[in-house]
Amino acid sequence: MSFCETLDRLPASGVIRFVEVEKNMIESDFANGRTDLPEDEFSVLNFCRFIEAAIIGMRMRQCIVPLEHESCYRQIVRRLVSVGELPPYANRLFEVVFRNFPQQMAA
């Protein structure tokens, strides 16, 4: 099961904790040389960091993720905002952080 499929199946109340655990696992694997961060894991890590930043109100650099991931991540963020798991500004922050992917992909 993919990361996005897992997020879709989790209740909104469990997504934040799952994202925290996933982020810590990927960072630990990378720090200990167990992975070289392929594109999919780098994308997941960027999304996990985005969720963390949105919760604490921190700015984040723009990220590039595969288009299919971007769509999934956007849906998850909207769901989390709609149930109060993320602050309302997270929707706008998402658009700022992940906004240029299609133009960069075409270049």
Q: Where are the domains of the chain?
A: 3-106
The answer for residues whose C-beta is within 8 angstroms of residue 37's C-beta and 6 or more apart is: 26, 30, 45
CA gap 16, 63 in Å, rounded? 20
Global pTM value: 0.85
Tens digits of per-residue pLDDT, 57-90?
898 888 888 888 999 999 999 999 999 999 999 9
What the block records as the tokens of 42 is 């780098």
Tens digits of per-residue pLDDT, 87-96?
999 999 999 9
Judge whether 92 and 57 are in contact, CB under 8 Å. no
**Residue for token digits 């963020």?**
77
3-state percent breakdown (helix, strand, coil) of the chain, nearest 5: 70, 0, 30
What's the pLDDT at 67? 85
